[in-house]
Amino acid sequence: MSDRTTIRSAWTAHSGSDWPQFSSPHQGELMTLDTVISGCVVYFLDTPEGLDSQRKNIVQDCLTDLEALIDDLDPETLPYFLRLKELGTLLITGTPAP
């Protein structure tokens, strides 16, 4: 399966999920990370040449921020953000997140 097909499949799963209902002091930051990574996914899928280095750097920064917040998420919320992490990792490396 090509990177584009893998990312499209992961994007379909993620975008079909509702925003999780939770209370966290980091909810705004998590929403921003979701918006930025999702925007880069849409750009990647709509642009034949994929992501440029600037967008890859933005996604990498988002992944770093997301990684710092993931351990504080409750079990019901975690799957949504692990899927987001996988999407970001796919954009950067072409392989799923560990």
The model's pTM is 0.92
Number of domains in the chain: 1
Q: Is 69 within a domain?
A: yes
* CB-based contacts of 30-37 (< 8 A; 24+ apart in sequence): 30/66, 30/69, 30/81, 33/62, 33/65, 33/66, 33/69, 33/84, 34/81, 34/84, 36/62, 37/62, 37/63, 37/66, 37/84, 37/87, 37/88, 37/91
Q: Is 33 within a domain?
A: yes
Range of 46's domain?
A: 3-13+26-93
Q: Is 21 within a domain?
A: no
10-30 pLDDT, tens digit each: 999 999 999 999 888 999 999
45-82 pLDDT, tens digit each: 999 888 999 999 999 999 999 999 999 999 999 999 99
